[in-house]
């Protein structure tokens, strides 16, 4: 069975790593990796491949940055000849980035079978480019592999055939659990000059938080204020760094530590030892739940509701002035010890079995 996985952006790589590991015991699986090149800086891409020991991609498309239409259009044009050359039994896509939806459209237009890992997530917010990608990808997928139980309800409500939908758990947590030990030996905390259990880590890159300079500086001022009481660490996504530089922001507190984008293992170490995490990332809401670290999400909605109902996550909303009202509870209340069903390190093993069992599945007709 030939499986072709397509990845493009940072959050895809830990998911790919889990799948690649799970394919290894099966000599009958040939795994072809395609990297679209949506992310290309060392810390956004290559470092993940090194940290997670993922083999170099067989095909690297070098697409790079651009508007959504430009990125999706170029990716589709570059993927089509690769899919036709490789003729895989399964095309596997993960998550909700532009590489995911581009692959889905190309795969179905040439009649190839598509499996979507992390299917069914919905923020019900069309303002998020990822929501478009999720809906398009799920609508076209032959197998829908679900990580959050809400995904089952969402796919049912959209009329998906039950036989194509499988709750498998969370592949990103497979890789996280495997990486916690590896992250221990790294000097990341020393480099930032911070102590375990005594800092807040912040990640922020959503267009809705960083593209408007007034809003971005609003967030930074609130965080700068928080840094008067506890160190605040911000490894900056390139999008956020560019916007901050353009806005001319510089922090007042020396405990506000703006750093370069962290690689995967450095980030795992930073999350695991934090007192509190503030984020607008989807994946970090899940990682903090799995690690039992309190998380405040700087968004109005989440496509990952299990992290609230059975995890450590709380939605703050997108107004910086509201953050202060959540801090006391986040610092002092005990967090949930529960971990959602099948976030157990074996989600990718379940996926591998499902792909093998369904290798004669007819592509969907409607
Ligand atoms: C993308 C995903 C988002 C994911 C995020 C994780 C989509 C629609 N969005 O958003 O879901 O949460 O990745 O990082 O697919 N840039 C660099 N170097 C890089 C990559 C990007 O400098 O290696 C800069 C460029 O200026 C680029 C900007 O960051 O224009 C945004 O990159 P892009 O891939 O378009 O979107 P992300 O915001 O990273």
Tell me the CATH architecture of domain 185-332.
3-Layer(aba) Sandwich (3.40)
Domain 2-169+343-357: CATH superfamily is Glycogen Phosphorylase B; (3.40.50.2000)
CA dist 68 and 229 (Å) reads 40
Residue of 31, 35, 59, 205 marked catalytic:
205
Alpha helices per DSSP H over 87-170: 98-109, 129-140, 150-157
**What angle do helix axes 347-357 and 171-184 make, rounded to 10 degrees?**
140
Return the SS3 of 3.
strand
57 CB near ligand 1 (under 6 Å): no
Domain ranges of the chain: 2-169+343-357, 185-332
> Structure pTM?
0.97
In the chain (366 residues long), the average pLDDT of successive 10-residue segments reads 98 98 98 98 96 98 97 98 98 98 97 97 96 98 98 98 97 98 93 96 96 97 97 96 96 95 95 98 98 97 97 96 96 89 98 97 85
The secondary element (H helix, E strand) that includes residue 94 is strand 90-94
Residue whose Cα lies nearest atom 31 of ligand 1: it is 239
Q: Is 251 exposed, middle or buried (0-12, 13-18, 19+ CB in 10 A)?
A: middle
What pLDDT does residue 359 have?
94
Cα angle 55-138-167, degrees, rounded to a multiple of 5: 75
Mutate to test the pocket of ligand 1, among 65, 66, 131, 243 (most ligand atoms within 8 A of CB): 65
What pLDDT does residue 337 have?
80
Taking the CB of residue 81, how many other CB atoms lie within 10 A of it?
Answer: 11
Residue whose Cα lies nearest atom 11 of ligand 1: it is 97
CA dist 311 and 290 (Å) reads 8
Residue 99 Cα, ligand 1 centroid: separation in angstroms? 11
Same fold, 2-169+343-357 and 185-332: yes
What pLDDT does residue 271 have?
98
β-bridge partners, 4: 32, 91
What pLDDT does residue 48 have?
97
Contact 198, 275 (CB under 8 A): yes
């Amino acid at each position: 069975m030939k499986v072709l996985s397509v990845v493009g952006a940072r959050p895809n790589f830990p998911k790919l790593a889990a799948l690649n590991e799970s394919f290894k015991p099966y000599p009958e699986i040939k795994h072809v990796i395609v990297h679209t090149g949506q992310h290309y800086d060392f810390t956004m891409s290559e470092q993940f491949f090194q940290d997670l020991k993922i083999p170099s991609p067989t095909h690297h498309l070098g697409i790079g940055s651009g508007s959504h239409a430009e990125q999706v259009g170029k990716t589709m044009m570059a993927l089509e000849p690769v899919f036709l050359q490789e003729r895989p039994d399964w095309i596997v896509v993960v998550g909700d980035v532009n590489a995911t939806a581009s692959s889905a459209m190309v795969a179905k237009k040439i009649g190839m079978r598509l499996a979507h890992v992390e299917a069914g997530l919905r923020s019900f917010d069309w303002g998020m480019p990822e929501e478009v990608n999720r809906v398009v990808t799920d609508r076209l997928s032959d197998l829908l592999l679900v990580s959050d139980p809400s995904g089952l309800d969402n796919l049912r409500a959209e009329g998906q055939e039950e036989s194509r939908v499988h709750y498998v758990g969370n592949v990103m947590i497979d890789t996280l659990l495997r990486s916690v030990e590896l992250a221990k030996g790294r000097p990341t905390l020393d480099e930032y000059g911070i102590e375990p259990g005594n800092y807040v880590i912040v990640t922020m890159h959503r267009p809705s938080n960083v593209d408007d300079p007034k809003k971005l500086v609003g967030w930074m001022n609130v965080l700068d204020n928080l840094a008067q009481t506890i160190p605040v660490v911000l490894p900056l996504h390139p999008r956020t760094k560019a916007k901050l530089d353009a806005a001319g922001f510089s922090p007042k507190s020396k405990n506000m530590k703006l750093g370069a984008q962290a690689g995967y293992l450095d980030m795992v170490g930073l999350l695991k030892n934090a007192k509190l995490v503030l984020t607008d990332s989807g994946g970090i809401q899940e990682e903090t739940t799995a690690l039992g670290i309190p998380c405040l999400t700087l968004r109005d909605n989440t496509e990952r509701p299990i992290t609230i109902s059975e995890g450590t996550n709380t939605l703050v909303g997108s107004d910086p002035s509201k953050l202060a009202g959540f801090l006391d509870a986040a610092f002092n209340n005990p967090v949930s010890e529960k971990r959602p069903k099948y976030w157990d390190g074996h989600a990718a093993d379940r996926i591998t079995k499902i792909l093998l069992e369904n290798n004669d599945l007819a592509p969907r007709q409607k």
